[in-house]
Amino acid sequence: MNRKLMNILACPIDKHSPLELIELSSNGDVIAEGIIFCSKCSRYYPILEEIPVMLPDELREKNQDIEFLNKYKTILPDKIIAKGLPWHL
């Protein structure tokens, strides 16, 4: 995902903008893996293989989110880990 995309993204749940970007892996202006975080509803959206996965809770893949959280649990901020999976909100 190109970093400039953050200027136009809004949370698909509450339409809040701007969103917070948490980079986990990047190459220049391209974010390979990371998290987009909405401070209004406290939902997170993973960036996987340069693609932001900004789906409503009911369309998200539980196993994919669990794998992502486990992979980065030691470096993710507490506000992400504390919330866990989005459908637990």
Count of structural domains, the chain: 1
pLDDT at residue 89, as a whole number: 41
Q: Is 25 in a helix, a strand, or coil?
A: strand
pLDDT tens-digit readout, 15-57:
999 999 999 999 999 999 999 999 999 999 999 999 999 998 8
- Report the residue count for the chain: 89
- CA gap 47, 60 in Å, rounded: 13
Q: Would you list the DSSP string of 8-33?
A: T---TTT---SPEEEEEEEETTEEEE
Q: Can you give the pTM of this predicted structure?
A: 0.86
Q: Which domain holds residue 38?
A: 3-88
